[in-house]
Amino acid sequence: MPFVQLVIMKLSLLNIPPIPAVLLSIISVQGGAAIAKGLFPVIGAGGTASVRIGFSALILLLAVRPNLKALKVEQWKAVLPYGIVLGAMNLLFYCALARIPLGLAVTLEFIGPLGLALAGSRRALDLAWVVLAGTGIALIAPWGGKGIDLLGAFFAVSAGICWATYIVLSKRAGAKLPGQLAVTVGMLVAALLVLPYGIFEGSLHLMSSTIFVLGIALAFFSSVLPFSLEMQALRKMPPRTFSILMSLEPAMAALAGWLLLGEHLKLGQWLAIACIVIASSGAALKPSSPH
């Protein structure tokens, strides 16, 4: 995997500032979502999650070549919970998508990071950005839909809780393990958690050369590249600011759906996106804390 290794090394050497790193991560995830939409009807939720996490772990292992035996006990204590939450977050989100619409799934998942942002707020202005982002998410959600699957909603909220936990654990794992090592080992732990579910579901037997190639692309754009960028950003950015910045996800998803999938939005949905963008920009441009 010389190309992947070169990309990861370039990312580390470029030392991308935290805000652009998060934005690039979001764009990459939406490109991966377009790929996943083609895989999902073929291999299902568990199979798609298994392909994404499994190939991500394989790519990172070949690119980074970690010496697992050299890891210390305190490093394992930091990376094991990170990897478990990473795998659970992805699996739960795909399970939610199998039962409820994408917009509702993303909205419910945002309860996690927004809750983390609200818990860390100390200024009235910070709370205003959270409220504005929450308003935008509420506007973009298809609340008028009928027959919403409660189990699917539960999966989405659980994925959101994992997302908030992942934000905190990413910063802790990044502080204990150097470079891309935390992402690589964490992805390996996540793969060991998710792969048995994909095998048990029975969809992985449909693997073909086309699905293999799409799986590699899905892993790179949905996991390897964005998680590496997020890990780099979280070394310099408070989890609360990161949480609000990630509110750009629905806006990027709408743009990706329009450009890549031909999906169109109504005026009210674009208004919701504007609320989220303003809230995210306000959080990103706020003055630095003296701490």
Q: What is the pLDDT of residues 10-61, one digit of tens each?
A: 555 457 788 888 888 888 888 887 787 778 788 888 888 888 888 888 888 8
For 172-209, what is each residue's pLDDT tens digit? Answer: 888 888 767 888 899 899 999 998 888 877 677 777 78
Query: Which residue's structure tokens are 């409660």?
Result: 150
DSSP per-residue letters across 89-105: HHHHHHHHHTTS-HHHH
Query: Which residue's structure tokens are 């996540």?
Result: 190
Closest listed residue to residue 188, CA positions, set 55, 3, 95, 44: 55
Residue 232: both structure tokens together: 């780099």
Chain centroid to CA 31: 12
The secondary structure of 187-213, three-state, reads HHHHHHHHHHHHHHHCCHHHCCHHHHH
Contact predicate 121/240, CB 8 Å: yes
Contacts of 180 (CB under 8 A, 6+ apart): 8, 12, 60, 63, 64, 228, 231
3-state secondary structure at position 289: coil
* pLDDT computed for residue 129 by the predictor: 78
Q: Model pTM?
A: 0.77
* pLDDT computed for residue 179 by the predictor: 62
Residue 180: both structure tokens together: 């891309």
Between CA 51 and CA 31 the distance in angstroms is 16
Contacts of 61 (CB under 8 A, 6+ apart): 184, 188
Q: Which residues of 222-236 are buried (b: 16+ CB within 10 A; e: fewer)?
A: bbbbbbbbbbbbbee
* pLDDT computed for residue 281 by the predictor: 66
For 127-173, what is each residue's pLDDT tens digit? Answer: 787 788 788 777 766 666 555 678 888 998 899 999 899 988 988 88
Query: Which residue's structure tokens are 């991500």?
Result: 56
Mean pLDDT (the chain) is: 78
Residue 240: both structure tokens together: 């609360």
Between CA 171 and CA 13 the distance in angstroms is 20
Between CA 241 and CA 234 the distance in angstroms is 10
* pLDDT computed for residue 285 by the predictor: 60
Half-sphere exposure of 291 (CA within 13 A, CB side): 3
Residue 153: both structure tokens together: 């909603």
| 64 vs 158: which has the higher pLDDT | 158
Between CA 70 and CA 119 the distance in angstroms is 37
Between CA 100 and CA 109, with CA 148 as vertex, the angle to 5 degrees is 50
